[in-house]
Structure 1
Amino acid sequence: MVTKKSTHFLNKRMYFKISRILIGFACLYSDWRIASLFHTPIFVWLILLSTIALGYQVYAEHIDNYFMGYRLIALVSGLYLAFLTYHISALIVIDFMDIFLHKDLSILALIFSIAITIYGRVHTHTIKTISYTYKTNKLPVGKQYNIVQLSDLHIGEIIDTNYIHHVVCQVNALHPDMIVITGDIFNRTNMRQRKHFYPIFSELRQLQAPDGVFAICGNHDPAMDSSLWQAFLEKSNIVDLNNRSYISKDINLIGRTGLVSYPTRKHLKRLMHSCDYQKPIVILEHDPAGILQAQSQHADLIICGHTHKGQFFPFTYFTRYWYGKDYYYGKHIKNGTCSIVSAGTGYFEIPVRIHTDNEIVKIQLQGLRKD
C-alpha cells in the first residue's frame, strides 16, 4: 500500500546517513578518476568542490539568510550531484567494457557526464503545458470547466522571480476558470528566502482566474498555521485551502494538508460533509498516497504532485517502482475516481530535468448530463 510504504521510507533517518556516506565515497572515487586523466594537481581542487557541494546539501536547511554567492553555490552543488550520478554510472559501464576491449574509456565517461548534465540544466528552462480531459455526468452537456494546476514550484535558491513570471504568463494564456497549487510552493520549510519574496508577490498576484487561485501545503512548505505562510498567501492573492472546502457554482473543491502522515490532517470524509453532491468533487492533494482515500470516498477527481516523476533519469524508474504506475505520474481512473499526478512546475535541489519536463497541467471538465 503506497501510503504505508512512503511514510515508512521517509522516516528512516538511518537511510539518509548511510546515503551520505556512500555519496562521500562516490565523490572521492569520481574525483580520483578525473584527476588521473590529467597531468596536473587538480585532485585537491576537486575534493574542495565536492566538499562544498555536499556541505551545502547537508547544512542548507539550517542557514537562515542569503549571503553573497549563495545562489551560485546552490546551483553548483545541485549540478555537481547530477554530474556525480552520471559519472559514477558511466564509469561502471566503461570499466565493464574494459574487461573485453582492454581500453581505458574514462575520458568518454567524463565527456558524457558533463554533456548530459548541461542538457538537463538547459531543459529546466522549458515549461510544457500538459492537457487532460475529465468527462462527468455532474455537469450539463456542453459545459466546460477549466482548471489549471501548478505544483512543486520550489521557489527559493534557484527558482526565482523570472521563472515565476514565465509560469504566470503561460497560465494566464490558458484562460482557466480556476487555478490550483498542489503544494511545495517553497523549497525550504524555514522560508529562509522570505526577504526576497516581494517581487514574487507581485508576479503571483497577476494570476487570473474568475473562480480564484487556491493552494495547499506540501512537505517543503511551512506549517499551514505559520504566520509567514499565511502572510505570503494573502499578499499573493492565493486562498489557503488546507483542511478546507470551497463550493463554486460549478464544482466542489477540497484541500488536503501536506503528506498523508500530517498530524492535524482531517479525514476526507469529514471534509466532504458540506459538499454539494450534484457537482463534481475535486480534491487537492500533494502526496499521491492520498489517492487511495479519495477512491474509497468516491471523489470524482483528485489532483496531486510531489513525485516530480522522478525528475531525472534513472530516478524516474525508481519513482515509478516506488509509487506504482497508477500513482507516480499522469491520469488514471480507478473505482470511478480520476487521479492526475503532475511532474511539477519547478524542480527540487538538483536543477536538471532528464526524461521528464517542467509542466503546467490543464484539466478540462466536460459535462455529459442531459438536463
Structure 2
Amino acid sequence: MMNLVFIVAIILVLGIYSGINYYIGLKGFELINSVFPFIAPKVFWPIFLLVAFSYIISRFVSKILPEPVSYIITLVGSYWIAAMVYFIIFIIMIKLVFLFDRWLSFIPSHLKTSQISNYVSLFVIALVLLILVIGTWQARNPVTVKYDISINKDGGKIKNLHAILISDVHLGTLVRKGQLDKMVRLINEKNPDIVFIAGDLIDDDIKPFKDQNMLESLQQIKTKYGVYYCLGNHEYYGGSSEEIAEIFRNSGIKLLKDDFTSIENSIYIIGREDMGSRSHLKKPRKNLSSLISGLDKSKPLILLDHQPSNLKEPIGKGIDLQLSGHTHRGQFFPFNFITNAIFENDWGYLKKNDFQLIVSSGLGSWGPPIRFLNNTELVEINISFNN
C-alpha cells in the first residue's frame, strides 16, 4: 500500500512539474518567436526540455557519467528549479493584475498590446536572472551570526565556551571541496573552543565526498575541545549512514548517533539520530529521556538534533541548549514563510524556561545553489556558565 501511495505521489509531482514547465515553455517560445521567428519549435523544445528536466535526469545518470558532465547537468538543473519558481511567482502576479483589471479597468488600453507584453516578459526574465546572481552571491558568502547566552549550571573546569555551529553544508556534487576549504578557513579564523555540526553535512550521494577527499579538509578544523557531529536526514536519504559512521570513526571528528560524550568531565554533548532515520534503519531513534537517563543533570547538557521539531521532548528534561539546522530558513524567499509556519522556531534563538534553542539557516545549500534574501551563515556562540 505504501509503495502504491509513493508511486502515485511521484506521478502527481512529475505531472505538476511537467505542466508548469510546459506553460513556461509556451510563454518562452512566444517571446523568442516574436524576436527570432526563424527558430522552429523542433529546435526550441528539445533544448528547453533538456534544461527543464536536467536536474531529474542527473539523479539517475550522475553515477554513470564522467564527473564534470554530471556536475554541469546538475548545476544547470538546479538553477532552472530556482528560475522556474520565480517565473511562476511573477506569472501569477501578472495574472492577478490582469484579473483585477477586468473588474477595475485601471490598465490603459495602449498598454495591452503584444509589444508591451514582450517588454514585460523581458523584464521578468531580467529580474529572474538578477535574483539568481544575487542568490548565488549570498549562497557563497556566509555571514557570521553571533549569540551570547548563559547556562545556569556549573561548567566545572570550563567557565566560558566559545563555540561555532554549522549545519546543512550538503557537501556533494554542487558544494565541492574548494567551497569547503573556504568554510574551514572561516571557522579557524574564529579560533573556536569547540565546533558543532548539526546534520546534513553530506548530501545524499557520498561519492563526491569521498572522491574529493573532503574529510581531509574537515580534519583541518582547529579547536580546543574537538568537533562534534550528528547526522541529518540527507545522510540517511543516500543510504550511507553506516558508511559515514565508518569514515568518521577514527577521523578526529566525533560522530554522535544517539550517543553522548563529555568534555573535561564538565559538559555533556549529546547527539541524536535524525528523525528521518526510522525509515532507513527500520527502527526508531532512542527516546531522549532514556538516552540521557544516566547523566548528571547538574552539569550542562548540550544537544545536537538536526531537526528542531517536537520541542516538548527536550524541554523539562534537563537539556540546556539544543543546536539544530534542517530548515534552511526556506533557503530562498518566499519559502521562509513556509518554514516559519511549520516550525515553532525555524531560525535563530528561542528560550523556554531553562531550555534554549539555536537553529542555523545552514552554511550550504540544497538543490539550487542560491540563497535569496536569506544568507548562509556561520553561527558563533559564546556560552557562559554559572560557576
TM-score class, shorter-chain normalisation, is 0.7 to 0.9
Q: Tell me, yes or no, if structure 1 residue 280 matches structure 2 residue 300.
A: yes
User: What is the deviation of 1:227?
Assistant: 4.8
CA deviations on 1:94-126 (whole Å, 9 max, x unpaired) are 233344424322222222122212221222110
Do the aligned partners of 2:269 and 2:302 also contact (CA within 8 Å) in 1?
yes
Verify the 8 A CA contact 1:332 1:339 in the aligned structure 2.
yes
Q: 1:259 to 1:58 in 2, by over 3 A?
A: farther
Cα offset, 1:46, TM superposition: 5.0
* 1:253 aligned counterpart, secondary structure: strand
- Paired with 1:42 and 1:358, the residues of 2 have a C-alpha distance of 42
Code of the aligned partner of 2:233: N
Aligned match for 2:152, one of 137, 159, 162:
137
1:267 aligns with 2:295: no
1:209-228 equivalences under 5 Å are 209-222=223-236, 226-228=241-243
The size of the alignment, in residue pairs, is: 356
Q: Residue in 1 aligned with 2:69? A: 69
Where 2:358 maps in the other structure, the secondary structure is strand
The whole-number CA distance in structure 1 between the counterparts of 2:375 and 2:261 is 31
CA deviations on 1:145-198 (whole Å, 9 max, x unpaired) are 12211101101111011111111111111121111111111111x423254132
CA spacing shift, 1:299–1:118, aligned 2, 3 Å: same
Distance (whole Å) between structure 2 residues aligned to residue 143 and residue 212 of structure 1: 17
Work out whether residues 94 and 109 of structure 1, in 8 Å CA contact, stay in contact via their aligned partners in 2.
Answer: no
What secondary structure does 2:143 align onto? strand
How far the C-alpha of 1:352 sits from its partner, in A, is 0.9
Instruction: Quote the Cα distance in structure 1 between the aligned partners of 2:129 and 2:239.
Output: 40
Q: Please state how far the C-alpha of 1:292 moved relative to its aligned partner.
A: 2.6
User: Which one of the candidate residues 125, 138, 144 is aligned to 1:110?
Assistant: 125
- Are the structure 2 counterparts of residues 162 and 225 from structure 1 closer, same or farther at C-alpha, using a change threshold of 3 Å? closer
Quote how far apart the aligned CAs of 1:236 are: 4.2
Tell me what 2:18 maps to: 24
- Structure 1 length as normaliser, TM-score? 0.87
Q: Which residue of 2 aligns with 1:304?
A: 324
Q: Is the 8 A contact 2:61 2:70 kept in 1?
A: no
Match runs of 1:157-176 below 5 Å: 157-176=173-192
CA–CA distance in structure 1, aligned partners of residues 171 and 179 of structure 2: 9
Report if the CA contact (8 A) 2:138-2:374 is conserved: no
Aligned to 1:331: 349
Aligned to 2:380, what secondary structure does the other structure show? Answer: strand
Task: List runs of 5+ in structure 2 lacking aligned partners.
Answer: none
Residue 355 (structure 1) aligned with residue 373 (structure 2): yes
Gaps of 5+ in 1: 1-10
Closer, same or farther in 2 for the Cα pair 1:61/1:148, shift >3 Å?
farther
* Aligned residue type for 2:295: C
Which range moves more in the overlay, 224-233 or 105-114? 224-233
Percent sequence identity is: 25
Instruction: Tell me the C-alpha RMSD between the 2 structures.
Output: 2.6
Kindly provide the amino acid, as one letter, of the partner of residue 279 in structure 1: K
Indicate conservation of the 8 Å contact 2:51/2:80, yes or no. no
Residue 94 of structure 2 is matched in structure 1 by 94
Partner of 1:4: none
Give 1:214 deviation, angstroms: 1.2
Q: Cα 1:187–1:251, aligned 2, differ >3 Å: closer, same or farther?
A: same
2:322 match: secondary structure? strand
TM superposition shift of 1:37:
1.4
AA aligned to 1:92 is I
Note the C-alpha offset of 1:224: 9.2
TM-score of the aligned structures, taking structure 2 as reference length: 0.84
Q: Is the 8 A contact 1:63 1:192 kept in 2?
A: no
Cα 1:225–1:46 change in 2 (3 A) is closer
Give the residue type in structure 2 aligned to 1:69. V
C-alpha distance in structure 2 between counterparts of 1:36 and 1:269, whole Å: 61
* Contact 1:258–1:286 (CA under 8 A) maintained in structure 2: yes
